[in-house]
Every structure is written in C-alpha cells, then in structure tokens.
Structure 1
Amino acid sequence: MKGFVAATLGFILSFHAALAAEPVFPPASRIGIVPPEDMMPSKRFSGFENQERAAAISFVEMPAEAYGQLVSGLTKEALKRQGMSVTFRENLKLGSKTGVLVAGTVVGPEAGRKWVLALKDGDLTALLIAQVQGGSDGYSDAQMRSALKSVALRGPVSLDEQVSALPFRVNDKAGFRPVRVLSGSSVLFTEGPLDTIKAMEQPIVILAASLSPPPPSGERRDQFAQAALNSNQILKNVTFERSESFRFKGQEWHEIVAKATDAVSGQPMVVMQTIRFEPDRYVRMVGLARIDQREQLLPRFRNVIDGVDMRP
C-alpha cells in the first residue's frame, strides 16, 4: 500500500509539474513561454512582467522574411550602439525553430541585464526581449534563458481577438478599419481596399499605448511630442503648423499638425499627432493623409483618439 501511495503521489506531482511547464500565451499572442516564477501576463504590452522585480519579457511578431534582417542587427557592434554590451551569444535549434539568443548588460536610464531572442518558424519571426533593471537581484541569467528557450509558437490569431486584447478600447473608429496589431500595444487602421500601404494610396491611423511613464508636464512634453514625430522613418521635410498642449476630459493632451513628404513616394502629406497623457502611461495617435484629403480626414483622426479608453 505504501508503495502504491508513493507511486500515486509521484504521479500527481509529476502531472502538476507537467502542467506548470506548459507555455502560456498572452491574450491574442502567437508567442508563448513558460514564464519565470511570479511573472504575470502584462496589461501594458504583449508579454510578461514582474514590476516588483523590475523585470519583463516582451514579444514582437513579424513576418518570416524579417528574420534575416533582424539577426543581422544582433551583432556586438550594432547592439553596442543601442547601449547593450553583449556577453553571450548562442545559435539555437528548438525543434523546427531556428534562432539566435544574445545576452548582455545595458547602461543608461534603464541599466541592468538584457536578453534578446530572435526565432523563425514557418510564416512567423518572433522577437523576445527580456530585461531586468538594476543589479544582480530580480531573476538570474539561468531563469531568463530557460524562459526564453521554452518559447512556443502557435497559428494565426484573428484580428478581432488581437484588437480586443489591446490595452485600450477604440470606441469610435470613425469609418476606418483595423488591418494590423503590433506588439500587443498598437494598431494600424486605414480606409480603402488595401491592407498594405506603400505610397500613401490610402490614409493611415496608428494608435499606440506607451510602455513607460510619460515625461513631466510642461515644456518637456512639448519637446517629447515633437521628438516623437521627428523620429519616424516614413516622413521627411516635416514642418509644424501648430504644436500645442491643452486639457480635455480632465487630462493633459498634446497635438501637432504638420506638413511633410512621404519618404517613399515623395507625395506631400498632412500629419496629425495627438498624445493623451495619464499619470503612469499615455496613448499616441498618428494620422497620415494626402494633402487633398486634409479637410475631411483631420476631424476623423481626432474622433478616433477622442474615443479611446484605456483599460484598467
């Protein structure tokens, strides 16, 4: 009897261990992992985090063809320019998945340790970025590597499910339709038959929630907003028509309207960027359209951001 009880107990324990080792997929994500102890799915981005330990693992989904370019940017020299000193690099083969894992230290405001895993399988390239801020506390190198190597990929998730998992609700789409969700925290809308817009054939609206607290109020936010718009790679010759802060619905907002040139087609464009600040986060809207669509589209861009509610 004792042997039977011991065997049964062993089976139960091993069964629970097997369950615990199952990969967990954040809502609407094709990427899942066995997260480190006490890491929970984030409400701010696609991935997991433990704010008490200042640790997070975020996921980014990309097309399969992005893998080569992504890996070419994981060199020591390229990562050093981004503030990461690489101390470890490993080529991985995880079942049918091919990948590269690098680890190192980060200097600057978010100093700490960082791990980056690029992985390709079938039609998907997965980018997993893990970071622990501070010194040697938080999670160990072994824990983070183990979590990243437990990565699992699943089939496509419906666009409606991806939109419903965003950290905000879009109550008024103003006639635009969603075509793509990125990183679990941003969504791209358009109007027209095309899902991929290469030369501003159709208007574009991008909504993105922040992963970090906003800058202090006042002049710093004006500088922040202008720098955010100028940092994009799809516009050139950006000329501000107006750049202003205001209060609306009890919150601080900042809005820019500018003229610019599409970097691909050379077509003149109008751009609206509106940022709504909350104490610990913000949501940003960028609307892009041809100059001849200005009068009809700028009010609709504003309707989209006005109707956004952040989820708790």
Structure 2
Amino acid sequence: MRSTSTRHAILTGAFALFVAFAVPAFAQQKQTVPGTTVSLVAPEGFTVASGFAGLQNEKTKASIVIVEMPAEAHAQLSALFANLESAKANFARQGVELEDRDEVETSAGKVPLLSGTQKANGVTFAKWIALLKGVKTVLVTIQSPEDADFDGDDAETLLKSISLGSEPSMADKIGALPFAVAAAEPFRVVDTLGGSGILMTVGPLNADPSGKQPILIVAGQLAATQGLTIEQLSETLLRQTRGFGDLTISTREKRPFAGTEGYLLAGDDGAGKRFEQYLAVGPDGRFVRLIAIADADQFDGLKPGIAKIAGSIAFKPAK
C-alpha cells in the first residue's frame, strides 16, 4: 500500500490533468476563463464549460482545459517538457502517445508545446499540451476528435492568443466551481483544483509532505455510471482512487448529500488514518464527491466540520 505522504501528494495533486478539446474557426474577442488567470480568443462554437475550468464545444465534443497550480510547480513540470523522449515516457502513463515537441512564442514568453494522440471511448483525439508561467503555473490541454478539422497551426494560434493576468479572488474561484460549497471550522480552503474541485486542510501548511494535517477534497465531474447503482459507483470510485485500494470500509449507508439522496462510505487504512467519502449523482449525470482523511485520534473531533461542509454542497445548474 502507498505511504500516507504519497497518498497526500496524489490527492493534493488531484488537479488530475484530464484533457482538453478544440475546433478550427476562431472568434476575435478575447475572454477570460472563469476562475483562472487565463484570457484567450475562443474557437468559434465554444462556450464556458460547466464541469471544469475551460471551454467546450458541445457539437464536436472538443474542449480546452485550463489547470492552474502554484508558481513553484513550474520548475518540476518543466522537466517533463524538457525534451520529447522524457515527455513521451511521462505522458505514456496517461495513455497519451506524443509525436512532437515545439516551442511557441506567446505573450507569456516562449512555451513548450507537446502534440500527439490519445484514444478514449473508441475515439482517437488529437492532443496538444502547453506549459505557461505567470503568477500561476498554467497547463493548457487542447483536444479534438481527429475527424474535426483542427491542426497544429490552429493550436498555435490559440496559444498565441493567451494572456495571463492576476490571480482571481478565492471567492471568484469558488464561484466558478460546478457546485456550491462552504468551508467550516476547523477546515480552511487551500485552493481550488482545476476548476472542478477544492482542497481544504486543518493546520498552518498549504503543502504537507509529512501527511500529518487532515485534508478534505470536494470534486465534481461527469459520472460514467455504466449501469452501476450509487452504492457500487461509490465504492468503485473510492477503490480507483490511487492509494485507496486497500482501505477497510466499515460504514456503508445512504445519506442526504448535495440536495439529493447520497451515499456515505467510512473506514480506515489500517495505518492510523480514518476517512469518510460522500457521493451524490445529479439529474444531469454529474456527480460530486467529498473525501476527508485524518489521523484516527483526530477524526471524531473533525466530524462536525466535515458534516457541515457536506451539508453546504449543492449542484449548480448546468450552463
């Protein structure tokens, strides 16, 4: 089983870089991506996404995903983009087959641009991934089905349209999430995660390599239910979360959550940590999940705060 510190590193990196998509014709008006430092000229037919930070085209199923991390993350991520061979090795773990690496001049300076393909749900997507640095480290992923008329020149045009501004307020970033949520003592907000999640903790550190501080993450996305009941989906998602496969589940019960009938799992990792996971699936197929983890001797004292945060969560209408 993974160490506690490794699990914390995975969870706090739950920006989980999923992917982005785009189309060929470009409008001329620059717009800000809600909850981020990024402004860009959007491809024609794109609207602000409701489930992540970025833009999407409902017709083509193409998207542009913006993931922002602390400025300090740029040095580490730059190593992944340093050359094509190292990039191939790292992105292959995510199922991305990279073919080329270029550098593009942007208003944020010269940035590396990786290109390749990825297969998902029987569809092959063309993909471009770029790394920029402003007040935040910014990862831009463009992804488009191969049969959509979008190429590397279009990706470069999009990147050249990007400008990076000041960091939005925490209220604005929380407001851009696909769900409503409010912190409750003793938890405090550290940051939002990729426009689709939020990280909270208890204690003075925002990054805790030792894994001593309690953490709480709320994340939302589309649910690939595949006919699963909420009970089955809840356990499947928990077991698929890296570092959680060996947890012992001691509580399974229906519980009101996010304005609907949700499901609660609770248990421990056999190594001094306890957890709770709340899950609810909304009427449009989106789900929201809360996971809280803390030392066993702290957990009971945190449960009122966890319950209050869980009670504040509600789905927002899809845009």
Q: Answer yes or no: is 1:213 the counterpart of 2:223.
A: yes
Q: SS in structure 2 opposite 1:202?
A: coil
CA contact (8 A) 2:29 2:42 kept: no
Is 42-51 or 117-126 further displaced after alignment? 117-126
Structure 2, gaps ≥5 residues long: 1-26, 82-86
Cα separation, partners in 2 of 1:271 and 1:110, compared to 1, 3 Å: farther
Indicate which of 146, 165, 170 corresponds to 2:157.
Answer: 146
In the other structure, the counterpart of 2:8 is: none
Structure 1, gaps ≥5 residues long: 1-19, 262-266
Is 195-204 or 184-193 further displaced after alignment? 195-204
Matched to 2:105, the amino acid is: K
Q: Answer yes or no: is 1:304 the counterpart of 2:309.
A: yes
Matched to 2:60, the amino acid is: R
Q: SS in structure 2 opposite 1:90?
A: strand
Taking structure 2 as the reference length, the TM-score comes to 0.77
Cα separation, partners in 2 of 1:32 and 1:234, compared to 1, 3 Å: farther
* Alpha-carbon distance in 1 for matches of 2:71, 2:33: 21
State the number of aligned residues.
Answer: 285
CA contact (8 A) 2:264 2:279 kept: yes
Cα offset for 1:121?
2.7
CA contact (8 A) 2:118 2:127 kept: no
Q: 1:70-103: CA deviations, max 9, x gaps?
A: 3444522333342222233212332452321122
Q: 1:287-307: CA deviations, max 9, x gaps?
A: 111111222223432332232
Cα separation, partners in 2 of 1:76 and 1:65, compared to 1, 3 Å: same
| Bigger CA radius of gyration | 1
Is 63-72 or 48-57 further displaced after alignment? 63-72
% same residue? 27
* Alpha-carbon distance in 1 for matches of 2:314, 2:127: 33
Cα separation, partners in 2 of 1:71 and 1:113, compared to 1, 3 Å: farther
* Alpha-carbon distance in 2 for matches of 1:249, 1:54: 27
Q: 1:93-142: CA deviations, max 9, x gaps?
A: 32452321122222231623233333233443210111123x41364543
Q: Answer yes or no: is 1:241 the counterpart of 2:253.
A: no
Cα offset for 1:232?
4.4
In the other structure, the counterpart of 1:204 is: 215
Taking structure 1 as the reference length, the TM-score comes to 0.79
Instruction: Report 1:114-153 matches (<5 A).
Output: 114-133=126-145, 135-137=146-148, 139-153=150-164
CA contact (8 A) 1:208 1:285 kept: yes
CA RMSD in angstroms, aligned pairs only: 2.9
* Alpha-carbon distance in 1 for matches of 2:162, 2:127: 14
Ranked by relative contact order (alpha carbons within 8 Å, sequence separation 6 or more), the top structure is: 2
Q: SS in structure 2 opposite 1:184?
A: coil
* Higher helix fraction (1 or 2): 1
Cα separation, partners in 2 of 1:32 and 1:293, compared to 1, 3 Å: same
Q: SS in structure 1 opposite 2:251?
A: strand
In the other structure, the counterpart of 1:186 is: 197
Cα offset for 1:272?
0.8
Cα separation, partners in 2 of 1:114 and 1:158, compared to 1, 3 Å: same
Cα separation, partners in 2 of 1:191 and 1:163, compared to 1, 3 Å: same
